[in-house]
Structure 1
Amino acid sequence: MIAYSLLDLVPIVQGGNAGESLANAADLAAHAEALGYTRYWVAEHHGMPGIASAATAVVIAHVGAATSTIRIGAGGIMLPNHAPLVIAEQFGTLDALFPGRIDLGLGRAPGSDQRVARALRRTLESSPDAFPQDVLELQSYFADDGQTGIRSVPGAGANVKLWILGSSTFGAQLAAMLGLPYAFASHFAPDAMEAASAIYRRDFRPSAVCEKPHLMLGFNVFAADTDSEAEVMATSMQQAFVAIRTGQPIELPPPIPGFRDTLGAQGNAMLDHVLQVTAIGGPERVREQIAAFIDRTKPDELILTGMIHDHAARKRSFQIAAEVMRGL
């Protein structure tokens, strides 16, 4: 059995609000812990009406208080949006609150448009091109090695596990060079998955953090008691992706039976492509789809995700997925 983890985008559903979404996040994290998930991650997004995890470190603290053993963290923090010292302080604080449980996945994409990027950092001097140097600066704060001339408090000496995230080969190269675990966003950007995985494994340099490569791949799961129920359930996320791709992001809508039939060939082709790393169905179909993906890609870990409108249905989906993973 390979490790399985959970990525929660903390969806705000149509008719709901951020408070309800955050309460659901804590409940889902506790549920994941009981089901044997290795880690629970939330991701930094800004200016998105349907995602409540913008203040990522605060959300992690919230779910940390609702759990006791599962690893919790960011999948990820978009480092171009922040001064590394601030992230060292935030995640050093999280490590002080929840020692030995904190993961920090680092991404180089701003995750927003130019206006939001400017509002976050007040300047665009820090570009994605500075990402490797920002990662090294962050490592220095945690190592407390004095190279920056500044001591992060909290942060110095913190036991925070760094990950490099990516949706291209760039992150794979950096993770391999630094000897860090690597997570690829195949759940929404599958194009470079095989190339990035091969580069990471081929070029990996052992480090004090990792003696050998550790590759985690994102995977969408929409699991229900029947195939037809799962197919309808998945239409909420499909609607949200169509809205994002047309430049009009929305709160997560309720499912619509037959939604795919309302799209033209171009819309269906887009969804088939962007969501190709996805399992939709009852327990047996999901088992077959996940097993086939693992057999083809051979990851060390899967991080499962799924934007589902009904919270109880989302918990049931991740329960079925956990049962599948344990049985493989």
Structure 2
Amino acid sequence: MTSLSILDLAPIPSGGTAGDALRNTLDLARRAEAFGYHRYWVAEHHFAPGVASAAPSVLIALVAAATSTIRVGAGAVQLGHQTALAVVEQFGLIDALYPGRIDLGLGRSGQRRTELAELAKKTPPPPKPARVVDGLLIPEGFSFAALAASPLFALYGSLLQQPGAESPDFADQVDDIVALLAGTYRSAEGLAAHAVPGEGANLELWVLGSSGGQSAQVAGERGLPFAANYHVSPSTVLEAADAYRAAFKPSKTLASPHLIVSADVVVAEDEDTARELASPYGLWVRSIRTGAGAMPFPTPEEAAAHEWTEEDRTLVADRLDTQFVGSPRTVAEKLRVLRDATGADELLVTTITHDHADRVRSFELLAEEWRRS
């Protein structure tokens, strides 16, 4: 049976605090382990008023300490903000205490600052029209050009790096991480460097990506498992999966491609309750895509008070149309469609509701239904 795993952003609810969100994450991780989920990944987000997962290595250590058997990892470390050595030392330290349970997911968001700056200067091409592939909605594409042009977006990016620093190429950083973990790193001059802790760590290395670009290529060419984001960029998930498989070369890690695909879900006992719990999601996505950063997750009542414009609706349409909301059976059926259309070996689900108890219950109901199906 296809494994189910969880991606957690440590969302801060409206009226709550970062401390509340982090305590909720630790509670959810313990519950997820009991429910039978395979992995528990935390995201990396910065300067978001409504998200507390700014330091994934710290949060992963806390989650690993609070659990016993579930795999714990990053979805994903933004490599553009850190050096390869720092990442290996951080995750090597966690692995030294919780060996064989830690996943190191790598993303290239930080490397994309120059690309996004160039994108902001160009007129975006017309988006591909929406289509349905093997029952899965592939919505019209979303352009990040307006977000990339935001002065606040540029400021946040600059604050995450030392003045004058430039991010290395993503492929080079992944290669450095692999070499440091294996103890084979050599500088251009032939000098050896050893990460302690880190060298020899029993980490499961992943690459995460939203398109068929460099991330998918790097994962495939190096024979690493790959995570494709239907929940972040649903219009390009098939491109990402296809590019990864086309580039794949067997490695010591994998003999064949291994793909995990993410999805936003909200599950409740009945369809109406699920739709009510999910109703703030559009307003929350809007806060991200307007460049303000993820807002504290609203209550359904707060969301209902928002006066939506046609521009607002267009801004979030792809994410709303691809969120899986409903009863356990309804959502499980949609996840099977996602699995079959993408060929996913695993599924990674993320759920945000205002009340923590509703989020826990959503994951519990889904796990129960998935075991039955």
TM-score normalised over the length of structure 2: 0.83
Q: Which residue of 2 aligns with 1:147?
A: 186
What amino acid does structure 1 have at the position aligned with 2:269? D
Give the conservation status (yes or no) of the 8 Å contact 1:103–1:163: yes
Q: For 1:114 and 1:136, how far apart are their aligned partners in 2?
A: 28
What are structure 2's unaligned runs of at least 5 residues? 114-152
Q: For 1:260 and 1:100, how far apart are their aligned partners in 2?
A: 47
How big is the shift at 1:42?
Answer: 0.4
Deviations 1:55-86 (A, max 9, x none): 11111111111100000010010000001111
SS for the counterpart of 1:323 is: helix
Q: For 1:290 and 1:212, how far apart are their aligned partners in 2?
A: 23
SS for the counterpart of 1:121 is: coil
1:248 aligns with 2:292: yes
Q: For 2:21 and 2:316, how far apart are their aligned partners in 1?
A: 25
1:307 aligns with 2:352: yes
Q: Which residue of 1 aligns with 2:276?
A: 232
Q: Which residue of 1 aligns with 2:157?
A: 117
How big is the shift at 1:252?
Answer: 1.3
Deviations 1:276-301 (A, max 9, x none): 43210112221232222223222111
1:288 aligns with 2:327: no
SS for the counterpart of 2:25 is: helix
Give the conservation status (yes or no) of the 8 Å contact 2:289–2:315: no
What amino acid does structure 2 have at the position aligned with 1:243? S
Q: Which residue of 2 aligns with 1:172?
A: 216
Q: For 1:266 and 1:144, how far apart are their aligned partners in 2?
A: 52
Q: Which residue of 2 aligns with 1:126?
A: 166
TM-score normalised over the length of structure 1: 0.94
Q: Which residue of 1 aligns with 2:206?
A: 163
How big is the shift at 1:262?
Answer: 4.4
RMSD over aligned Cα atoms: 1.9
Q: CA separation of 1:311/1:199 partners in 2, compared to 1, >3 Å: closer, same or farther? A: same
SS for the counterpart of 1:169 is: coil
What amino acid does structure 2 have at the position aligned with 1:10? A
Q: For 1:255 and 1:175, how far apart are their aligned partners in 2?
A: 40
Q: For 2:340 and 2:209, how far apart are their aligned partners in 1?
A: 22
How big is the shift at 1:315?
Answer: 0.3
What amino acid does structure 2 have at the position aligned with 1:215? L
Q: Which residue of 2 aligns with 1:326?
A: 371
Alignment of 1:28-177 (within 5 A): 28-110=28-110, 113-123=153-163, 125-127=165-167, 130-148=169-187, 149-170=192-213, 171-177=215-221
Max Rg structure: 2
SS for the counterpart of 1:192 is: helix
Q: CA separation of 1:224/1:98 partners in 2, compared to 1, >3 Å: closer, same or farther? A: same
What amino acid does structure 2 have at the position aligned with 1:120? L
What amino acid does structure 1 have at the position aligned with 2:336? A
Q: For 1:287 and 1:312, how far apart are their aligned partners in 2?
A: 20
Give the conservation status (yes or no) of the 8 Å contact 1:221–1:321: no
What amino acid does structure 1 have at the position aligned with 2:98? F
Deviations 1:157-200 (A, max 9, x none): 11111101101112111111010000011102112111111121
How big is the shift at 1:202?
Answer: 2.4
Q: CA separation of 1:322/1:38 partners in 2, compared to 1, >3 Å: closer, same or farther? A: same
What amino acid does structure 2 have at the position aligned with 1:297? T
How big is the shift at 1:327?
Answer: 2.7
SS for the counterpart of 2:325 is: strand
SS for the counterpart of 1:152 is: coil
Q: For 1:173 and 1:10, how far apart are their aligned partners in 2?
A: 30
SS for the counterpart of 1:180 is: coil
Q: For 1:245 and 1:145, how far apart are their aligned partners in 2?
A: 42
What amino acid does structure 2 have at the position aligned with 1:35? F
Q: CA separation of 1:20/1:101 partners in 2, compared to 1, >3 Å: closer, same or farther? A: same
The sequence identity of aligned pairs, in percent, is 41
Q: For 1:197 and 1:64, how far apart are their aligned partners in 2?
A: 29
Q: CA separation of 1:229/1:258 partners in 2, compared to 1, >3 Å: closer, same or farther? A: farther
Q: CA separation of 1:117/1:93 partners in 2, compared to 1, >3 Å: closer, same or farther? A: same
Q: How many residues align?
A: 327
Give the conservation status (yes or no) of the 8 Å contact 2:283–2:303: no
What amino acid does structure 1 have at the position aligned with 2:203? V
